Structure 1
Amino acid sequence: MTNILVVNGPNLNMLGKREPSVYGTETLADIERQLRIAADELDVRIDFFQSNVEGEIINRLHDAFGVCDGIVINPGAFTHYSYALRDALATISVPFIEVHISNIHAREAFRHLSVLAPIAVGQITGLGTYGYELALRAIVKTAKK
């Protein structure tokens, strides 16, 4: 069975409360519920991890080595500067898709750069929480090749 890991970075535990005009009113639990439904439909196993701590995310990614077939990651603010996160993803060589609820390219200039995008299978940005489902479907297709 295909194993997919969904990783959420800093402040995403506050979805539904944090800037609803930017991120909407859905919570992380809502997103996970929707992804479980899609994972059942796709017949894949899905695990979730969220942390506000960069090192914890890196450790979880290391644990995915040899176990996961694909990763969906919303790295939050780590997107823009975490070379440690980028190195972890490069080291484990598990295909991943980067997801952002808001359109990072239409926001403040510092948000336009992703240090992860060059090594990602793809990036989905600005489609709200639906971007997670699109990323799941795409990474499953990639992982089954």
Structure 2
Amino acid sequence: MRRILILNGPNLNLLGTRQPEVYGATTLADIEKMCRAHAETCGATIDFAQSNHEGVLIDSIHAARGEQDGIILNAGALTHTSIALMDAISSAEVPVVELHLSNIHARESFRHKSWIAPVAVGQICGFGARGYVLAMDALLGHLEAAK
């Protein structure tokens, strides 16, 4: 059974109420429930976490080494600023799928640069909450192909 860490960064705890015109009306709790149901159908287990603190996210990535088969990371705005997250991903040696609810490439220019993308196996953005299921499928497919 594959083990996946779904890690959410700053402000994602406010999903459902924060800018619903951009991020939708689905809450993070709704997304977790959807991910757990999908994991069950895929024969995977998930750990689901959120933090507004960069260091906590880095600690979670480090802790995934040897414990998780892969990570789905929605780093929020830290995607565009955190070289420390990029370094943590490189150090952990766990495949990461970068995820965003909105299409970061169709938004403000500062959102076009991702420090995570160079060390991720891929990026999914613009599909709202459904992106989490797409990311799970992509990660599981990557892990299967890497066998």
Distance in structure 2 (CA, Å) of the matches to 1:55 and 1:122: 23
Distance in structure 2 (CA, Å) of the matches to 1:143 and 1:61: 17
* 2:4 aligned counterpart, secondary structure: strand
Q: CA deviation at 1:115?
A: 0.7
What is residue 79 of structure 2 aligned with on the other side? 79
Letter in 2 for 1:128: G
Distance in structure 1 (CA, Å) of the matches to 2:143 and 2:28: 24
What is residue 134 of structure 1 aligned with on the other side? 134
What is residue 111 of structure 2 aligned with on the other side? 111
1:74-114 C-alpha deviation (Å, 9 max, x unpaired): 00000001000000000011001001000100111100110
* 1:4 aligned counterpart, secondary structure: strand
Q: CA deviation at 1:22?
A: 0.3
Identity %: 54
What is residue 125 of structure 2 aligned with on the other side? 125
What is residue 53 of structure 1 aligned with on the other side? 53
Unaligned runs of 5+ in 2: none
Distance in structure 2 (CA, Å) of the matches to 1:110 and 1:37: 35
Distance in structure 1 (CA, Å) of the matches to 2:109 and 2:138: 28
Misfit runs of 4+, over 4 Å:
none
Unaligned runs of 5+ in 1: none
What is residue 15 of structure 1 aligned with on the other side? 15
Q: CA deviation at 1:21?
A: 0.3
TM-score normalised by L of structure 2: 0.97
Letter in 1 for 2:17: K
Distance in structure 1 (CA, Å) of the matches to 2:141 and 2:29: 24
Q: Determine if the alignment matches structure 1 residue 33 to structure 2 residue 27.
A: no
Q: CA deviation at 1:16?
A: 0.2
1:10-51 C-alpha deviation (Å, 9 max, x unpaired): 000000010000000000000000001110000111001100
What is residue 64 of structure 1 aligned with on the other side? 64
Q: CA deviation at 1:119?
A: 1.2
Distance in structure 2 (CA, Å) of the matches to 1:26 and 1:129: 7
